[in-house]
Amino acid sequence: MSAAVMFHPPKHQIQRFVEGELSAGMSVALSAHMEFCADCRRTAGAAEAELVAQWNAKEALQSPADLTGILDAITQQPQERANTPSTPVSRKLVVDDQVISLPRVLAQIASAGLNWKTVSNGIRSAKVDLDTDTTCEFIHMQPGSKAPQHSHRGNEVMLVLDGKFSDEMGEYGASDFVIRDPAHRHQPRTETGCICFSVLDSPLVFTEGWLRLWNPIGLALFQLTRWRRRKLI
């Protein structure tokens, strides 16, 4: 696996992000990473320019009457009032005594309030509800903590917001976009502590100890939560 793949979203995923094909959870993770990463912003900008060129080429084939109709529809939309005052969202996230600065997209999400829960020794998470297909959470790992060893049924993204963590494949710091899939078995751990934003599109598969007994229950709960959210939408 190349370094570019280990620390940044792959190009095909950025392409799908630009085309609006990703889930809200994955889109938020990519968008937050891009606030840190000029290289990925450039890749997204190029993909966007290509998409606009394709639209323009299609539009040029339409009749002038069609185009006039579109322009009329746009100009008849109610215009947003200029200078509407809006309350600025704080970019600060306080976890224990630590204060970190969040990417704008995550600050917006966290502004609704985060409900931290202990998930294992030294690890807490705050889930946020963004779509029906993913489980998204802020994760705080205290110094010296480690997650249970696991594999994946689907994709897991960990965007590092502060501090560092490592696994069997490397060490990751602030802004790194780490993707793991069914080919990977790993155990994230941290010496100095870290705060991440995580997106899962399928439940984890625990591969050690009594937690393996949790796998069928975890899968059933993931499916139940997804079914409930879809019913609410």
- Which of 8, 146, 150, 180 is close enough to bind Zn ion by CB under 5 A? 8
Q: Are 198 and 156 in contact (CB under 8 A)?
A: yes
DSSP 10-63: -HHHHHHHHTT-S-HHHHHHHHHHHHH-HHHHHHHHHHHHHHHHHHHHHHHHS-
- Which of 14, 22, 32, 37 is close enough to bind Zn ion by CB under 5 A? 37
- Is residue 140 within the footprint of Zn ion (CB under 5 A)? no
What does the alpha-carbon distance between residue 181 and residue 148 come to, in Å, rounded to a whole number?
16
What does the alpha-carbon distance between residue 138 and residue 161 come to, in Å, rounded to a whole number?
9
Size of residue set near Zn ion by CB under 5 A = 3
What binding mask, one character per residue, do residues 66-105 give for Zn ion by CB under 5 A, x or -?
Answer: ----------------------------------------
Burial letters 35-44, b for 16+ CB under 10 A, else e:
ebbeebeebb
- Is residue 40 within the footprint of Zn ion (CB under 5 A)? yes
Which CB atom, from 37 or from 47, has the smaller least distance to Zn ion? Answer: 37
| Alpha carbon separation from 185 to 133, 188, 200 (Å, rounded) | 22, 10, 15
- Is residue 44 within the footprint of Zn ion (CB under 5 A)? no
What does the alpha-carbon distance between residue 154 and residue 140 come to, in Å, rounded to a whole number?
22
- Is residue 176 within the footprint of Zn ion (CB under 5 A)? no
- Dihedral pair phi/psi, residue 226, rounded to 5°: -60, -45
- Is residue 29 within the footprint of Zn ion (CB under 5 A)? no
Which CB atom, from 49 or from 220, has the smaller least distance to Zn ion? Answer: 49
- Is residue 159 within the footprint of Zn ion (CB under 5 A)? no
Q: Which range touches Zn ion (CB under 5 A), out of 8-16, 71-79, 124-132, 142-150?
A: 8-16
List helix spans (H) across 101-196. Answer: 104-110
Q: Which range touches Zn ion (CB under 5 A), out of 4-12, 71-79, 129-137, 139-147?
A: 4-12
Which CB atom, from 26 or from 40, has the smaller least distance to Zn ion? Answer: 40
Residues of the shown chain interacting with Zn ion in the complex, contacts defined by CB under 5 A: 8, 37, 40
